[in-house]
Each structure stands twice: as C-alpha cells, then as structure tokens.
Amino acid sequence: MAELLWKPSEEQIKKTNMYRFMNFINERFGKDFQEYAPLHQWSIDNISDFWAAFWEFAEVISTQSLTIRWWMMTPKCRGPNGFRAPGLILPKICFATAMIKSH
C-alpha cells in the first residue's frame, strides 16, 4: 500500500467548495453527509435533486432553467465508454453576466 504523502487539515477542508456544497445539500435535504463517498452515492441515486441543487449552489446564470430528461437514463442511451448519461439539457450559460457578478 502506498504511503499517504499529505492530508489537508480540518481547517483546510472546511474552506473548500466541496465542503460548502456538502453542507448545502445537508441543509437542503436534511442529510448528514460528512464524507465525499456518501454524497457521491446520493448524487447518483438522486440525479434530479443533485443537479438542481448544484445549479442553485453554483449560482449558474443562464437563459433558462436546467432540464433533466429521465428517458435518457435508459440503457440504450449511453455516453462515451458505455457510461449512462443523465440526459442533461444545458441552456446557454451567460458567462459575461456570471463574470461581472463574480467581481
């Protein structure tokens, strides 16, 4: 087994966007995720809720709302390398507005 070369401190972990997003999900859906793996599994099991929450958390500015087409989850609709794609229909994202908002 390889030797662990570095591990972030608890303070460093709490400053990450992943940690903030995990807390956002915990508050929004009454969860108690403390680690990435359970959050990842929840995102697979709750694709629509995950993407809607991420869309809001990331404050995506777009021409229309995110739409998820469940019919694209069938085994016939597979993405590259055979993975099932969630069928995201992404609207045009307004990058200029997002950049202005972020400054």
- Whether 91 maps to a domain, the answer reads yes
> Do 66 and 100 have their domain in common?
yes
Check whether 101 has a pLDDT greater than 90.
no
Name which residue leads in pLDDT, 84 or 27.
Answer: 27
> Do 68 and 82 have their domain in common?
yes
DSSP states along 32-87: ---SHHHHHHHHHHTHHHHHHHHHHHTT--BSS--EE-GGGGSTTSB-GGGPBP--
- Whether 1 maps to a domain, the answer reads no
Note down the domain range covering 96. Answer: 59-103
> Do 53 and 65 have their domain in common?
no
Strand partners, 68: 88
In the structure, what pLDDT confidence band is assigned to residue 76 with cuts at 50, 70 and 90?
very low
Check whether 71 has a pLDDT greater than 80.
no
Q: What is the pLDDT of residue 58?
A: 85
Q: What is the pLDDT of residue 99?
A: 53
CA-based nearest residue to 84, from 67, 68, 103: 68
Q: What's the domain count of the chain?
A: 2
pLDDT digits (tens, 9 = 90+) for 34-43: 999 999 999 9
- Whether 18 maps to a domain, the answer reads yes
CA-based nearest residue to 54, from 20, 84, 77, 87: 20
